[in-house]
Amino acid sequence: MSSHHQVTDALNEQLSCELGSWYSYLALSAWCDRQQLTGCAGWLRAQAQEEYTHAMKIYDFLLARDVEVKFTQVDPPRQEFANIVEIFEWALKQEQENTARIDALFQLAMEQKAFASLVELQWFITEQVEEEQSARANLARIKMVANDPAAILDFDNMLGERNLPLDTSPR
């Protein structure tokens, strides 16, 4: 197996992971909708759209490089949570795991001198800094107000102010 095949195989794996994150954020959104936390649900649904966009960015990159896109099964996401704090703990954990995968993929691309992949992955590294920062901030905020139902509703309203992107294309 050539070195670039190792990188493209890893990119295909990351494509599946991004789709898994999309699926997971939808599950988090559904939990919030069931709890009547529609602002949180909308914010998490927008996160799901971002994850799908990330998957499509990898998909398009692989096709542009004339590489076969390989699809694997995406496992069902966690769907049961005790409270809203667990939702945002899970979101942060998911982003941290994704950052670790992107970093490892970048390292592999460096080792294999897959320069086009390095350029593509730089975008993902920058994106993950933003994603983790946002997840940490939301978790910190919800932990501060976790025992105050009125404050949880204020938090929910704050997150509900996020607009869903109309164009989810990765370009």
What homologous superfamily is domain 3-72+81-160 in, according to CATH?
Answer: Ferritin, core subunit, four-helix bundle (1.20.1260.10)
d(CA 94, CA 89): 9
b/e string for 107-146 if b means 16 or more Cβ within 10 A? ebbeebebeebbebbeebeebbeebeeebeebbebbeebe
d(CA 7, CA 143): 39
Model confidence pLDDT, tens digit, residues 117-164: 999 999 999 999 999 999 999 999 999 999 999 999 999 999 998 755
Model confidence pLDDT, tens digit, residues 91-127: 999 999 999 999 999 999 999 999 999 999 999 999 9
Q: Output the known binding site for Fe cation.
A: 18, 51, 54, 95, 128
Q: Which residue has the tokens 């941290």?
A: 96
Task: Return the domain boundaries, the chain.
Answer: 3-72+81-160
Q: pTM of the predicted model, to two decimals?
A: 0.90
